């Protein structure tokens, strides 16, 4: 299965909007929302016939039994995550990373590790299409593991899959990049956007994932769009086109409609980009 | 007064709002906690006062002592260690630096050494101090960087520019805040993610208000959400191509336009008043 992942470094550059259009234009049969911290793709894909959900378990977290605790303080001393309070001795669940050090040092066996539900993994299907997404429970960490679970659900469901990524370059991005064939970077023509683009491209390089670049809202700052194009040329990164700022994009999101069906300059630009992206994928 | 600026969704204008608030305040500190993609310094252009490395611990093995018992491999819940005959492999980027493997090793073959995971730059801009955390590329978590960055919080006034999302990094930044300023976009996406961070502020028991950004004519799902969920709307900023261009060049709106200077001065006052009221409750 060939997998295309959309990333951007900076948030709000238009990953989800472009992903939605590409899913439609390529008639992708498998797709996933890897932005488990703030998922949105489900809002614009229409309705699905079948749904299945399963709980996502975080690493088990420490729990102190007050009846067995002798208040010796060892657990508090060894915890590197400041997750154990004193007086009374308690674990702060959202700070506990489940390492089990405290349980190993506790002389009175007062600490056990308990599984906690940290989110829900969802699978939606209609005819031959499969959509995988997830929601993270408030105050849970370990988003990288959840991204890996989301990706597993569509593995080998089709010949081609599109994955919508998250902003940043941390664990969810690393988890989403692992094993994909091509990363499409949706950049924005701002100094912030350029700095973020360069960092996410380096992240992809470290994981040996080839990247290509498009610029969204390119007419907001043509000079910086030109700078991104030159940067791509210098770094031998395929530059696949630009998308102008278009109010239709907002209207499409808010009406739950496809930007492709609404038409307009952004829609036209994405059609052209779609052809180039598919060529890049085929060439791999 | 410590104010965290958050949004859930990326690109709604957190940094734009944070840097302009900090610039009009002209006192206290600005803290860029978006350690994966820090940008506030591009706008504030601080003079550099000092730079320090942020380190984490990592286990290293002495193979002369290791007898291949695999106690460490079995104990590590993150699967950061693997043993193949004659070699103990340690994956630094996956390691959470909990210290358990070193503690458990019966042969004392493991010891911990420091490893650089990022940097913190502290600088100044007039009477404002500017603090920026930056994670090394390839690392999985910036939490230790944020923890260290926020050790210098200014009780008088701190503007904490948060990362997007609602995960562990965001939790870390809200932890220290007295008040949360949510920045929302006028789309279903914006409203959906506004709901996520709003819920997060409630779980963490932090008072919050919202700034509606990039407002256009027509439906504003974020505004509807705020009204339905008793979330105070502190101000509204219309979409403005002038502001978009200036900000894309990392210019401070409050320096370029009297209109924006007045807007952010009023917003700062409003936020501080709200936070003070909330503290009294």
CATH number of the domain bearing residue A105: 3.30.70.20
**DSSP reduced 3-state for B271:** helix
A183 with A256, same domain?
A: yes
Residue A138 pLDDT more than 80?
no
Task: Please check whether residues A90 and A37 belong to one and the same domain.
Answer: no
Q: Which residue of B77, B104, B244 is in closest CB contact with A59? A: B77
In a domain, A133, yes or no: no
pLDDT tens digits along A90-134 = 999 888 999 999 999 999 999 999 998 989 999 999 999 999 999
- Domain co-membership, A33 together with A87: no
Q: Check whether residue A88 and residue A191 sit in a common domain.
A: no
Residue-level pLDDT at B8: 87
| In-domain check, residue A144 | no
- The 10s digit of each residue's pLDDT in A258-271 is 899 999 999 999 99
pLDDT at A140 over 80: no
A81/A178 same-domain check:
no
CB contact under 8 A, A170 and B77: no
Domain shared by A92 and A40, yes or no: no
Cβ within 8 Å of residue B210, ≥6 positions away: B181, B182, B183, B184, B194, B198, B222, B226, B231, B232, B233, B234
Domains parsed from chain B with CATH numbers: 2-54+118-280 (3.40.50.300), 63-108 (3.30.70.20)
Is residue A151 one of the residues assigned to a domain?
A: no
Same domain, A163 and A244: yes
More confident residue, A259 or A139: A259
**B189 interfaces chain A, CB cutoff of 8 Å:** yes
Domain that holds residue A195: 2-46+157-283
* Chain A residue nearest residue B199, CA to CA: A138
Say yes or no: A180 and A217 in one domain: yes
Q: What pLDDT, on the 0 to 100 scale, is given for residue A143?
A: 83
Q: Which structure tokens are listed for B13?
A: 């204008």
For B23-52, b/e burial (b = at least 16 CB within 10 A) is bbbeebbbbbbbbbbbbbbbbbebeeeeee
The answer, as to whether pTM is greater than 0.90, is yes
Query: Is the same domain home to A162 and A188?
Result: yes
Q: Is residue A260 part of a domain?
A: yes
Q: What is the mean pLDDT of residues A28-50?
A: 93
> Closest-CA residue in chain A for B103?
A101
**Cβ distance of A100 and B100 shorter than 8 Å:** yes
Q: What percent of chain A has pLDDT over 90?
A: 85
| Cα three-residue angle B129-A199-B47, rounded to 5 degrees | 20
Read off the CATH number of the domain in which A222 is found: 3.40.50.300
Contact B202, B173 (CB under 8 A): no
ipTM higher than 0.85?
A: yes
Number of structural domains (chain A) is 2
In a shared domain, residues A186 and A261? yes
B151 touches chain A (CB under 8 A): no
Residues A16 and A95 in one domain: no
With cut-offs at 50, 70 and 90, classify the pLDDT of residue A37: confident
User: What integer pLDDT is reported at residue A139 of this predicted model?
Assistant: 67
Letter string b/e over residues B70-79, b meaning 16 or more CB atoms within 10 A of that residue's CB: eebbebbbbe
Domain match, A192 and A161 both = yes
Q: Which of A116-130, B110-124, B129-143, B159-173 is predicted least confidently?
A: B159-173
Instruction: Considering only the beta carbons, identify the residue of B167, B188, B248 that sits closest to A221.
Output: B248
């Amino acid at each position: 299965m060939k997998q295309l992942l959309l990333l951007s470094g900076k948030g709000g550059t238009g990953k989800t909007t472009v992903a939605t259009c590409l899913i439609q234009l390529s008639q992708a049969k498998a797709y996933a929302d890897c932005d488990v911290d703030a998922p949105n793709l489900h809002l614009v894909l229409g309705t699905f016939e079948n749904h299945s959900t399963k709980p996502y378990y975080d690493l088990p977290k420490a729990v102190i039994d007050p009846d067995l605790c002798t208040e010796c303080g060892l657990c508090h001393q060894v915890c590197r995550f400041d997750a154990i309070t004193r007086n009374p001795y308690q674990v702060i669940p959202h700070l506990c990373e489940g390492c089990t050090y405290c349980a190993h040092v506790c002389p009175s066996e007062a600490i056990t590790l308990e599984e906690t539900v940290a989110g829900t993994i969802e699978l939606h299907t209609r005819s031959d299409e499969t959509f995988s997404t997830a929601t993270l429970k408030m105050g849970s960490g370990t988003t990288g593991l959840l991204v890996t679970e989301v990706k597993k659900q569509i593995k080998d469901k089709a010949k081609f899959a599109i994955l919508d990524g998250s902003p940043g370059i941390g664990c969810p991005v690393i988890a989403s990049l692992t094993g994909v064939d091509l990363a499409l970077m949706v950049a924005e023509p701002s100094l912030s956007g350029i700095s973020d683009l360069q960092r996410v491209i380096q992240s992809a390089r470290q994981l040996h994932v080839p990247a290509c670049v498009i610029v969204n809202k390119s007419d907001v700052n043509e000079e910086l769009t030109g700078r991104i194009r030159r940067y791509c040329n210098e770094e031998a990164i395929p530059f696949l086109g630009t998308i102008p700022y278009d109010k239709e994009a907002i209207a499409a999101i808010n009406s739950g409609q496809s930007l492709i069906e609404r038409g307009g300059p952004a829609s036209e630009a994405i059609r052209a980009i779609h052809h180039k992206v598919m060529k890049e994928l085929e060439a791999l | 007064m410590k104010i965290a600026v958050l949004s859930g969704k990326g690109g709604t204008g957190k940094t734009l709002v944070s840097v302009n608030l900090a610039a009009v305040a002209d006192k206290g500190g600005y803290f860029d906690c978006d350690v994966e993609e820090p940008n506030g310094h591009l706008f504030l252009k601080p003079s550099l006062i000092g730079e320090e490395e942020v380190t984490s611990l990592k286990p290293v093995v002495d193979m002369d002592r290791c007898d291949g018992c695999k106690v460490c491999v079995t104990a590590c819940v993150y699967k950061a260690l693997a043993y193949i005959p004659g070699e103990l492999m340690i994956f630094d980027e996956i390691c959470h630096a909990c210290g358990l493997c070193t503690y458990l090793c019966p042969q004392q073959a493991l010891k911990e050494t420091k490893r650089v995971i990022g940097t913190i730059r502290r600088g100044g801009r007039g009477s404002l101090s500017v603090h920026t955390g930056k994670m090394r590329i390839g690392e999985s978590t910036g939490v230790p960087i944020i923890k260290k960055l926020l050790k210098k919080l200014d009780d008088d006034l701190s503007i904490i520019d948060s990362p997007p999302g609602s995960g562990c990094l965001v939790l870390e930044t809200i932890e220290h805040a007295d008040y949360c300023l949510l920045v929302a976009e006028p789309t279903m996406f914006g409203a959906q993610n506004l709901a996520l961070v709003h819920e997060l502020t409630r779980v963490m028991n932090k008072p919050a208000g919202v700034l509606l950004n990039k407002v256009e004519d027509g439906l504003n799902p974020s505004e509807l959400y705020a009204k339905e969920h008793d979330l105070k709307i502190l101000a509204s900023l219309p979409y403005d191509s002038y502001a978009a261009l200036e900000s894309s060049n990392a210019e401070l709106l409050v320096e370029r336009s009297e209109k924006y200077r007045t807007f952010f001065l009023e917003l700062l006052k409003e936020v501080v008043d709200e936070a003070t009221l909330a503290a009294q409750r």
